[in-house]
Each structure stands twice: as structure tokens, then as C-alpha cells.
Structure 1
Amino acid sequence: MNGGDEVVAAPVGPPQPLEWKFSQVFGERTAGEEVQEVDIISAIEFDKTGDHLATGDRGGRVVLFERTDTKDHGSSRRDLERTDYPIGRHPEFRYKTEFQSHEPEFDYLKSLEIEEKINKIRWCQTANGALFLLSTNDKTIKFWKVQEKKIKKISCMNLDPLKAVGNGSVASSSNSVCSKSYLANGGCPDKSSNDFSFPPGGIPSLRLPMVVTTHETNLMARCRRVYAHAHDYHINSISNNSDGETFISADDLRINLWNLEISSQSFNIVDVKPANMEDLTEVITSAEFHPTHCNTLAYSSSKGSIRLIDLRQSALCDSHAKLFEEQEAPGSRSFFTEIIASISDIKFGQDGRYILSRDYMTLKLWDINMDSGPVSTFQVHEYLRPKLCDLYENDSIFDKFECCLSGDGLRVATGSYSNLFRVFGCAPGTTEATTLEASKNPMRRQVQTPSRPSRSLSSITRVVRRGAENPGVDANGNSFDFTTKLLHLAWHPTEHSIACAAANSLYMYYA
């Protein structure tokens, strides 16, 4: 203080909208190429470090990618701080490995086919340089370990390595093979036939094979656990607990709690199945553990509500600790109201303070300390509202779009039709509402008209963002295409980088 003058800090405005750029594409389609059903991506997930990315497809395969640009500039934090490279350098990933996670099955008791499609992937804690992850289809969850193994080869044999046929390659030194091409146990191949004959007098010395570990490595994926026969209905969610030991799996009516090390039993912690199935009014659509509180989880329903439960209250959590739902506006109800209110995905922010939910038409951001309504509502594709009848006829109204939050919690993203995805700013006062296309030119169909924030609620800004509202076109002024939809996407945990799936192609963008 000097002479009674007070220094007042200038108010900090909302962050500037991000400028998104194309980074990479894996599995890009050529013009006119037909997409195979089994190649369509059905799940995407970054690990906690952001250095690994996993995708699952409808063919039951899991593909892993690893980041390469950070490895090029030193492995330690000190090395990275000393390295001077352009800030604009975009993240780069490369193919690491893939494995067949699930196979198609048939339930003979219920006469039902169980498809191999991967519904969800979740990364687990790493240990001893190995990667661990959970993957699930409709009925079975699997726990995978992916690790680099040194290749072992066989050497010092009586067998000629050039003519050896077996499971692995054969290595030998110059003195480890007999002068004649004898087979194991003293046999010698006859070139004129497949019969074997022993040389006269036998073999003077028999060399026992030796296993030699080489410097070559190979990535091996091994299934450590199989968690099966615990769900009567299709699994829609799996979520790791922050304790690193347990996880949950959810289907339409139940949520089960598992220990990673025990696959023979699980504990049913939520059961919404009524005594009479005719009384069923809602089903579970998504479930997620709190990122830091191991006793707290949230699950969403087909009625558009989110329930927060505390595992410390009781063994079977029939009652919720908090209920988050938005009151229906008077006179706004229609045939489609309940259908489009169904929540397809929920995500906690990294700090656990906010929950992001996606229903068919909107994204909603909820503060777990305020259950009176969402903090912000973002209109994803309001231009489709006049077309709800058509969407119902072709079943598009039941599409399940995922959502994600940035690591800093200032932005949210979700997909739409015509291979578009939308990024909204959720900081107070921001008007950021960007539309991008899953292509090499993401800004090609960008909307130029900014959205305006609406009314505020006390100190918390409650906003509604809209896109273009011409009923005949999408948010870009182009006719929309219901057959190309961007359902799956993930935000890098520490950087402004998004990975999204357009059919069988994986696109990556950075800002």
C-alpha cells in the first residue's frame, strides 16, 4: 500500500477458443473403399499418462498405439526441460501391437449369439514395465497384460537349422551342427523320400539343444483373468477404482464390483430390477467411479438422471446419496421426450468436481455439489429436432454418443452425424463452440457464427450453446448424413489432443 492506493488485479477473461489442427490418421479409407463391419472402431481410451492409446473394434480386436514424439527428446523430466524444440510440435503416435481380445460365442441356454465387439476399454495401473488393461464385450470382461519379452532361440543341435521346421526360429554356431544334416535323435533325411535312416555306426556325439536368450524383443499380450457369467444383460460400462484393486461392471439392471485378482466372484452393489418386470421404468445406461474417492461412483439412467452413491452406506446401494436431474419444462413433453433424455455416457472431470453427461441432443455439465440442475447445457445438433420422427424410423435416435472432458476441465467434446464432433468451452463467460470434421482438414466445415451464453445462476454460469438451426442442414450448412456418425472419442489427459473414430479410421487432432 502507498498513499492509500489499492492495487486491483485485472479480471481474467475466459480462455481463447482453440485452433484445432490435424495430427494423424490410422486406417484412412481410400475413395470408394468399402468398410468391413469387423473393422469399425467401437472403443477408444487414453491411459493416465497419455503415452498410450487403445482402440477396440467390432471384430473383437484391441489395437495399442504408443507416443513417439516425447521419446525422441529424452526420457527424463530434466532432459525434456533442457531440450529446445518447437512448442507447436504435435503429438505423434505409432502402432505398437494388437491382439484378439474376444471371439464370437453362442449362449446355448438362451439361444443367443454373443458378438465379439469390444464395448469398453479401460487402462489399469502399470507395473514392471508392463501395460495392463480391461476389455469387455456384451458378456465377458478380460484382464490383459502386454509386455515386451526377449526372444529365446534354440541352438547347439544335431539338426540342420536351414531345414528345421518348428514353432520358433533356430540359431546355432558353426560348430553346433554336424557335417551331415542329421535330424534330432540321430536321424538323417533321405532326399528322395520322407523316410529317415540312421548313418552306419550311428552318430559319434549327440548335442542336446540349448535355449539362448537374444537381445531381440517381442510384444506379448496375455490374458491374466476372465470375468464371466455375472451379467444377464449386455454390459455397457466398466470403470476402474482409484484404489487400483477393484473395478465395476454395469449392465441394464445391475452394477457389480470386482477385485482384479479374483475372477470367480463379484459383489452386486446396485440392482434396479423390479420384482415384476412390467414395472420396469428405467435402466442403467452408464457407470463411472469417482477419480479420487474410491467409495463414490455415479451411474446414469434412461430417464436422464444421474445418481451418486456411496459404497460405505450399505452393501447393496439401493438408495442414492445424490440425484441429479433436470426438471422438464411445462408443456414441452412429446412422444420423443423420454427417448432423447436417455443418457448414453457420463464422465467425471479429473478433479472429481464435475460430471459430464451426454443425451441424444445435448451435453450437460453437472456440479456434484449442486443437484438442482446442470451448470451448463450445450446443444450438440439442435437442427435435428424437427427430424426426430425420421430418426426414430431409422433407429438413429437410439445411437449412443460418448463424451469427454479436457484435462484442465475447461472444455468438453462429443460427436455427431456426418463425422462431425463438437468442442465447447465451459469456463464462465466463454462462447467457444467449435464444430470439426473427422478428416485431414477438420476446420473445413467450421461454423462461423459464435454462440451466446444465456442466463446465469448466482455465481455459477448456466449457459446454453447452440449450433446452426436450419432444419434441412447440419451445423455446417451441409445436408446431414445419418450413416456416418462419430460415436467414440477421447481427450488426452494432459494436453489439448483428441482421438476420434470415424468408422474404421482413427483420427487425431491437436491445438
Structure 2
Amino acid sequence: MDHDASGSGGWRFAQCFGDKGDVEDITEADIISTVEFDSTGNYLATGDKGGRVVLFERNEQKKGCEYKFYTEFQSHEPEFDYLKSLEIEEKINKIKWCKRQNAAHFLLSTNDKTIKLWKVFEKSLRVVSESNLHDGQRALPAPTLSQNLRLPRMTPQDNIIAAVPRKVYSNAHAYHIHSISVNSDQETYISADDLRINLWNLNISDRSFNIVDIKPANMEELTEVITAAEFHPTQCNMFMYSSSKSNIKLADMRDSALCDKHAKMFEEEEDPSNRSFFSEIISSISDVKFSHDGRYILSRDYLSLKIWDINMESRPVKTIQIHDHLRGKLCDLYENDCIFDKFECTWGGDDKHVLTGSYHNYFRIFDVDTLNDVVLQADKSAFKAKKIGGPLAGNKAGAKNGMRAAGLRDNMAMETLDFNKKILHASWHPRENTIAIAATNNLFLYSAA
């Protein structure tokens, strides 16, 4: 991850899945809404706005970290809530893998209202090869004597990958589910909406326990909402949730059944001189992630990334500006609703790097210790350059993956940013420097040595 001559930090474009043509009229249903590696990194899942889940598996025949299509299934369908006259989208908000216990894969997927536990497994198709009426392809006369009767014989014909919903967890959220997180005990998980967090047992679909409820008695007094929630990676009693009021609460389920009283609250006091009309919107936390060792918390708000030490609540140990150049454009971003975009963030498998996205399909990888960064762009020209074996458009001599980092960084601050292209969802391989980036209806994979 040291800075090389090209400024790409050793990162190379590896693969692109999806429609690779210059199609301007992208089908809404094909837009990727979540991406997630499993705990081994051998499998990768994406969910889209059309309610589909697509799984990829590591291609062991290739030397690098390459993936191939594994299977696809329709996870959610559009529904209509007749009591509230409300359409429920089929869009997949989150996918979480369960740790593999046997030959089958289990994963949770959720839309706004319903969570499903899917079992994905290889299934052998068998056909009748011999019976009383035929022997293979050859027809036989019907047996006339009882002793000539024989049992039909089955032979395997083909292997298929099947996906079946083992559990459907529904009717537990009045508001839209935005987060799910599987506990380290692999027996329970949490689901969170704007005002409540529920605890589920993976084996019990008809009841859940409400462990956080911030709904006020009078909804007119509502001042904050829950924005993200995640279990601690090793301690099964701990979880955290972030709020639109720029704080992160750490809760301990051993304290009480209802975790409304937090064990710790991580919050930085705002500088009054920076206060503006947009302060509350841009300080709302859109995503939080524990480091793999559980010692640090990574949080993302509209303009910055923050790294918190779990033992220090008063201020983050690092604050990283992601697109500070947009500070002067907040009025325009409010007008076009981009100021409400929810960017995700993720830790590298070694907890030494962090990743988050920006506009115009730019994304940035930071070294946690030095804060040196790499700016990359998930762009279709990378795919085309690899295909024809030439440099990327606008490339300078010696640059190995797009323009030099300085060039990309300058471009990020230009007026011509396309705010319709944004990197909101990404996942980092748990054991290698390989990242999966969702860019509209394409899945990009980048690798570093």
C-alpha cells in the first residue's frame, strides 16, 4: 500500500460485472444497493433495487483474486400495505452472511419491512433411468408377471445451485429497516429501523425482542433517528448504533433487557463558529463499523470519516475529510437532495486501512496511521483499457491505473462532478487487499499486491 509512481498505491482494476456499454438510461431495478463479502472472502453477494441477490464465487483456476458468477435468485417482491396505503419496495437494503457450518451457505437479506434467511446449496438432479416400461431410452413391454416387476432406478443427471428461504422474519418494524447485523455467537442478529432495534434468534421467525426504542410519546417531539447499528465482532453482548444527532451509542445487553440507557456515547462537540443551516444534516452519521479486533469504531458523516477509540468517548482519534471541497456547494446539494446521500464506510481486513466513497464514482482508501490516501475511480474506461490493452483516457505516462492520484484528487474538486454517479456501497475482502465497489449497476473489483 505504499505510494508508487502512479499514485495508485499498488491498486489495480481487476474485474467488472454488469452492463459494460455506455448506457445512459440505466434500468432502476439493476442499480446495486448493497455488496458484501462472506467471512472467508471466497464468496461475494450483491443485492439490487429489483429485489435480486447475485452471488459470486472465487475462481480458483485463476492466479489472482478473481470471481465468477455463482447463482442469482429473487429475494423480495414488491408489496402493498393496504392498512397504510403504502407501497413496499423490493429493493435489498442489506445482505449479511452467516458463518458457514456445512456445505450450504446461509445469508440474511432485507428490504424495508421483511428479513429473509436464505439457504443456498448445490443440489443433484436425478432422473428415472430404468423402470418397468423403459430401460434408458429403450421402451419395454409392460411386465405380465409379478416376478418381472422391478423397482425404478434413479441416476444423477445434473448439479444445480438452489436457493430456498428457510425463515421469513416479518411484521416487526413499523419503519423502514436500514441495518441488520449477525452476532458473533451466530445464533442471534439485530435489525434496526429509524426508531427501534430488534433482537432475533435466527431459528425463531415469529417473535423478536425490542432492545432499543427511541420513539417519543409524542411524535412531534421527535429530534433524532437511528441511522445504523452493528454487533461487536467478538463480544456477543455488545452492539452500537449511530444517530442523526452525530453520536454513537455503545450498549450492553447484560445491563438490562431494554438498552435505552447506553454504556458509552461517542460524540464530538461542534465548533459554534462552523454552525450553519446544514450543520445538522451533514453531521448525521450514515454508517458505523467496528474494526475486526473490536478496538476502534469507524463512522461516516456527509463530509468526513472519523475513527474512534472504544476507550475514548470525547473525541475521535482521527478525522479524515472526504470531500471538503463540497462545503461551498451545500445549498445546491440540498436542492438536488444529494446532501441526504448515505455513504458507507469499511475497514480493510488488517484494520490498517479504511475505505469510503464519493461522487463521480471516486472512492478513497486511507492508511489509518499516516492518513496517506489513494484516490481511485470506478469507471468503465478501466474495463475498456484492460480489454484493449491500452492506457486509460487522459492517462499520463507511467500511470498504471487511471490518472495519477494527484490528477484524480484535483478532478474531485472540479465543477464538473456528476452527482448522479456515487459510490455508496463497498466491501473489503476479509483476508486480502481486494475490494468490491458498487457503481450504479456495475460491480467493480480492485486488488493490490
Q: Which runs of 5+ in 2 are unaligned?
A: 4-8, 383-391, 393-399
Which stretches of structure 1, 4 residues or longer, exceed 6 Å deviation after superposition?
Answer: 205-209
**Aligned mate of 2:268, from 326, 329, 349:** 326
**Residue identity matched to 2:426:** L
Deviation digits for residues 21-64 of structure 1, max 9, x if unmatched? 01111114212353111011001000111000000000100000
1:479 Cα deviation (Å)? 1.6
Cα contact 2:306–2:318 (8 A) shared by 1: yes
**Contact 1:345/1:358, CA 8 A, preserved across alignment:** yes
**Structure 2 counterparts to residues 246-285 of structure 1, below 5 A:** 246-285=188-227
Letter in 2 for 1:492: H
Q: Which residue of 1 aligns with 2:67?
A: 93
Aligned residue number for residue 389 of structure 2? none
Alpha-carbon distance between aligned partners in 2 of 1:495 and 1:414, rounded to the nearest angstrom: 17
Task: Name the counterpart of 1:370.
Answer: 312
The alignment partner of 1:117 has SS state of: coil
**Do the aligned partners of 2:33 and 2:93 also contact (CA within 8 Å) in 1?**
yes
- The answer to whether the aligner puts 1:42 opposite 2:33 as a matched pair is yes
Partner of 2:376: 436
Contact 2:107–2:118 (Cα < 8 Å) also in 1: yes
The more displaced of 354-363 and 437-446 is 437-446
Larger radius of gyration: 1
Asked if 1:56 is matched to 2:43, the reply is: no
Matching residue within 136, 139, 142 for 1:173: 136
Identity %: 58
Match of 2:2 in 1: 16
TM-score (norm 1): 0.79
How has the CA–CA distance of structure 1 residues 16 and 149 changed in structure 2, closer, same or farther, with 3 Å as cutoff? same
Matched length: 423
Structure 1 residue matching 2:316: 3-state secondary structure: coil
Residue 508 (structure 1) aligns with: 445
One-letter identity of the residue aligned with 1:23:
A
**Structure with more of its chain in strand, by fraction:** 2
**Judging changes above 3 Å, is the alpha-carbon distance between structure 1 residues 174 and 274 closer, same or farther for their aligned structure 2 residues?**
closer
Structure-2 change in CA distance of 1:449 and 1:364 (3 Å): farther
Distance 2:404 2:318 in 1: 22
Q: Which of the numbers 18, 41, 62 marks the counterpart of 1:27?
A: 18
1:419-444, Cα deviation, whole Å (9 max, x unpaired): 111111111xx141111000226942
Alignment check: 8 A CA contact 2:132 2:152 kept: no
Q: Which amino acid aligns with 1:178?
A: L
Tell me the residue number matched to 2:118.
Answer: 144
Structure 1 counterpart of 2:351? 409
Q: Deviations over 1:345-381 (max 9, x none)?
A: 1111100001111111111111101111111111111
8 Å contact kept, 1:28–1:506:
no
1:125 offset after TM fit, Å?
Answer: 1.8
Aligned to 1:491: 428
Aligned-partner Cα distance in 2 for 1:330–1:156 = 83
Structure 1, gaps ≥5 residues long: 1-14, 74-88, 161-171, 180-185, 187-202, 451-466
- Give distance in 2, aligned partners of 1:379 and 1:362: 4
d(CA) in 1 for partners of 2:149 and 2:52?
42
The answer on 1:109 being equivalent to 2:83 is yes
Query: Which residue matches 1:350?
Result: 292
Q: Hey, what's the Cα distance between the residues in 1 that align with 2:149 and 2:45?
A: 46
